[in-house]
Amino acid sequence: MKKILVSGSAGLIGSEVTTYFVNNGWNVIGIDNNMRADFFGPNGDTTWNRNRLIETYTSYEHHNVDLRDREKVINLVKQVKPDAVVHTAAQPSHDLAASRPFDDFDVNAAGTLNLIESLRMVTTTVPFVHLSTNKVYGDAPNRIKMKELDTRWDYDDDTYKYGIAEDFTIDQSMHSLFGASKVAADVIVQEYGRYFNMPTCCLRGGCLTGPNHSGVELHGFLSYLIKCNLEEKKYNIYGYKGKQVRDNIHSNDVALFINEFINKPRVAEVYNIGGGRENSISILEAFKLIESISGKESIYEYFDQNRMGDHMCYISDLSKMREHYPGWNIRKDIKTTFEEIYYSWKNRTK
């Protein structure tokens, strides 16, 4: 059986990738030390998801390894000799990075280097998929001419009618320290592709979401918003009149694309992976949609100060992904995604 190494395997994308590849006949070796609980406290704890994977899948093997521990990572990769690597582990929060910059950089940048160099020590022919972020573009998307609509901001420039493409600048903008550490990781992965001719790709995610997301206020906008509605808790909106837009992609659609890339890998590629225009939604629109599902009114407080480096509107242009991998497309629409997250939280809080 083929072996795939998945970092952050108890997280949202890691667990979805694990499930997908186990169900398709692979052995999955997961790396996850539940640092999300350290970052976000009990609400971010992914122990439940780790246990679910261990109990459900006999071909899943879990390793409680910290990616910052270079020697342990090197030894594990040498031992496993994987046929593919999917790197989803990260410190994912803008705000937390500012208060814990060393941890943020050590996990996001150094952790990525540890994993990809460990793989290079074993082989340069195995696909390496890195979950990057749209925050590598910093706040430069806010320089695009915008128009204000009733419930959202949108681009007022036909250049971006399908969203932001991969050639958009990542330079000379405010990224947050999180964005900066992810830029470092992104460029490292590209360089290993170009310099060592390794099959790598960076997936610059919009809002990646799904029913296995342990969303918290500092990270996981959609999951957390839906949880607040379910539990009748206040949701805080920071700036932009609540009209800031994100494109949301279901974690299963991400896993499907990763499979496409592993089957037909390319060298040093970059893809903006998100829900595209059809799965884009503002905070105000998200309130209305979850209210139509739950029957409960959302409670929120507005603060007239946006988060530093936050996007007014971010929509991923999926053209390059669809051109390179025509067998892939978005399968889960925004309403289905909302429903799955809602019922997942409902079952977890019983």
How do residues 68-89 score in pLDDT, each as one tens digit? Answer: 999 999 999 999 999 999 999 9
Environment class of 46 (CB within 10 Å of its CB; exposed 0-12, middle 13-18, buried 19+): buried
Residue 186: in which H helix or E strand, if any?
A: helix 176-196
- Strands of the chain, DSSP E: 3-7, 27-31, 60-63, 84-87, 128-133, 146-148, 153-155, 200-205, 207-209, 234-238, 245-250, 269-273, 280-282, 299-303, 313-314
Structure tokens at 33: 């030390």
Nearest to 104 by CA among 182, 11, 7: 182
Q: pTM for the full model? A: 0.96
Structure tokens at 296: 């409960």
CATH, range 3-348: 3.40.50.720
DSSP 269: E
Residue 240's pLDDT is what?
97
CA distances from 174 to 20, 142, 232 (A): 36, 11, 34
Give CA–CA dist 253/162, Å, rounded.
Answer: 19
CA distances from 272 to 49, 131, 207 (A): 27, 10, 11
DSSP 130: E
pLDDT reading at 220 higher than 90: no
Give CA–CA dist 8/11, Å, rounded.
Answer: 5
| Mean pLDDT for the chain overall | 96
Per the CB < 8 A criterion, the answer to whether 250 and 332 are in contact is yes
How do residues 1-43 score in pLDDT, each as one tens digit? Answer: 999 999 999 999 999 999 999 999 999 999 999 999 999 999 8
Residue 272 pairs in a beta bridge with 204
Give CA–CA dist 97/246, Å, rounded.
Answer: 21
Per the CB < 8 A criterion, the answer to whether 238 and 307 are in contact is yes
Give CA–CA dist 98/55, Å, rounded.
Answer: 37
How do residues 288-315 score in pLDDT, each as one tens digit? Answer: 999 999 999 999 999 999 988 789 999 9
pLDDT reading at 285 higher than 90: yes
User: Coil, strand or helix: which one is 316?
Assistant: strand
Taking the domains of the chain in order of start, what are their residue ranges?
A: 3-348
Cα atoms found within 13 Å of the Cα of residue 64, Cβ hemisphere only = 7
What is the C-alpha R_g of the chain? 19
Question: Beta-carbon neighbour count of residue 174 at 10 Å?
Answer: 13
Give CA–CA dist 65/44, Å, rounded.
Answer: 18
How do residues 222-274 score in pLDDT, each as one tens digit? Answer: 999 999 999 999 999 999 999 999 999 999 999 999 999 999 999 999 999 99
- Strands of 121-264, DSSP E: 128-133, 146-148, 153-155, 200-205, 207-209, 234-238, 245-250
pLDDT reading at 54 higher than 80: yes
Nearest to 280 by CA among 342, 328, 337, 212: 337
Residues 6+ apart with CB under 8 A from 104: 91, 96, 97, 177, 178, 181
